[in-house]
Amino acid sequence: MGHTPYLRLDVAVMEANIAAMAVHAAGAGLALRPHTKTHKCRQIGARQLAAGAHGLTVATIGEAEVFAEVCADLFIAYPLWVDTDDAARLRALADRGVALRVGCDSIEAAAQLSGLPVEVLIEIDSGHHRSGVRPEDAGTLARHVADAGLAVSGVFTFPGHSYSPASPAQAAVEEASALATAAASVRAAGGECRLISGGSTPSAGFTTGGVLNELRPGVYVFGDAQQLELGTIGFEQVALTVVSRVVSHAGGRVICNAGSKALGADRAPWASGYGRVLDAPDARIVALSEHHATIEWPGPLPALGSSIAIVPNHACNTVNLADEYVLSTGGSWPVAARGRNH
* Interface positions with its own copies (CB under 8 A): 2-6, 37, 59-60, 62, 78-81, 83, 85-86, 105-106, 108-109, 112, 125, 129-133, 160, 245-251, 255, 257-258, 260-262, 264-267, 287, 289-292, 294, 304-305, 314, 316-317, 320-323, 339, 341-342
User: Is-contact 195 156, C-beta < 8 A?
Assistant: yes
Q: How far is the CB of 246 from its own copies (least distance, A)?
A: 7
Closest CB to its own copies among residues 10, 105: 105
Residues 6+ positions from 215 with CB-CB distance below 8 Å:
25, 28, 30, 31, 32, 33, 197, 198, 199, 204, 207
Closest CB to its own copies among residues 69, 85: 85
CA distance 147 to 140: 11
Q: How far is the CB of 29 from its own copies (least distance, A)?
A: 28
Closest CB to its own copies among residues 146, 274: 274
Q: How far is the CB of 247 from its own copies (least distance, A)?
A: 5
Closest CB to its own copies among residues 28, 150: 150
Q: How far is the CB of 133 from its own copies (least distance, A)?
A: 7
Quickly list H helices, 205-329.
225-230, 260-263, 315-319
Closest CB to its own copies among residues 108, 147: 108
Q: How far is the CB of 115 from its own copies (least distance, A)?
A: 17
**Secondary structure of residue 253 in the 3-state scheme:** coil
CA distance 12 to 239: 8
Q: How far is the CB of 72 from its own copies (least distance, A)?
A: 23
What are the Cα distances from residue 14, in Å, to 143, 157, 233, 304?
A: 42, 26, 13, 30
Tell me which residue of 195, 194, 212 sits closest to 203, measured CA to CA: 212
Closest CB to its own copies among residues 9, 31: 9
CA distance 289 to 280: 21
Burial of 76 (C-beta count, 10 Å sphere; 0-12/13-18/19+): buried
What are the Cα distances from residue 38, in Å, to 9, 27, 28, 84?
A: 13, 24, 23, 28
User: Is-contact 334 295, C-beta < 8 A?
Assistant: no
Tell me which residue of 1, 2, 21, 13 sits closest to 278, measured CA to CA: 13
Closest CB to its own copies among residues 213, 241: 241
Q: How far is the CB of 331 from its own copies (least distance, A)?
A: 19
